[in-house]
A and B are shown apart, each in its own frame.
Chain A
């Protein structure tokens, strides 16, 4: 120091305190805040997916909470651009763990080979001979449709919820589910066919 205290007091020093009035923000809290801003607006969407995947309110809530904790923990690795598919992918992993924890009776994900090509006959789906395509769909209330969607087998239910309800693109669905685009397309085709059949059958039972 060239100047002693007294001299320094008489010297005009550029005012720098402006920089000091705010403490450097804590990186942990900064991360939490950014995460909050980015992820919390999607809570309803994540919860919706959890409800359809797990078909149970309590499990869905637990899975969503766990999903958000994991997402915060790994927020540093999030590279964008869209956070919603990223959250979905995490949720899906949480749900997978949840299914593993439950009894083995619940089969989460069928082997993807064998169902990738659309035309092979599969036990899960067969375009009915009488082709319900000509029937006019009756309007059903939302609760009925929720049930019809919830009753679809897992991979098809997932595909249709991601596409129709959560409005993801095929590419995003492929990334979330971790399957090729072609599989997304064939699953979606089958999902809609199953849903339509169920829809028509529902009318048969209630009308």
Chain B
């Protein structure tokens, strides 16, 4: 048989087994627990019910959290794209290799530091009487305590901070892949540099923007540490609800249902969007 030919496939076995046993299978636990009933004493009873999902999808607090989560993710993605694009453009165009390496390093370094540390730093800076307060107070621009922490603004700042690096690298890659002779062609046909950018570079970089945005959006939706620390549980997003239900209240069924909803939104929905867009919108990419 072809067993001899395919014996190398066994190399992948450890990975496959590991994922099946400790990744796929546990995920099913969430699905299972989400339809159990909550019990304050036993945590859950093996009685099937839809009430958890009903709560997640209709209860005001939860619907609000879903809305918050989306809103934050959209705003963050928007800002990340705007802030990252020029940097990516500069990186893609720079002729000096040393500058490229140095800037790349400086952009990616903050990302490899744990997210607690960077969020902690923003807490220090954005605290009601923290650094930013002191600066604005010295300039007489503010009277009372600074109201950025415990609000969505603080979370937006923190999340944007964490996502810029990835977007820069993705966009930079997309921009470098644009055939330089296309710009030259546009120029000899009379396009000014600005026009060439608008008509050629920008449209051709859109697939990169799109895929980077998907990742940023998805990571922002499911982000936990940053919203927790900067919103200090006053701003409710889905991941915080999951945490509260599981770790504080021990309502595992409800937490599981919340997690399932988050999972469906993030993974399946975004995966689907990506697939559709890839097929329909960027057909000209496949040349």
**A interacts with B:** no
Interface residues of B (CB under 8 A from A): none
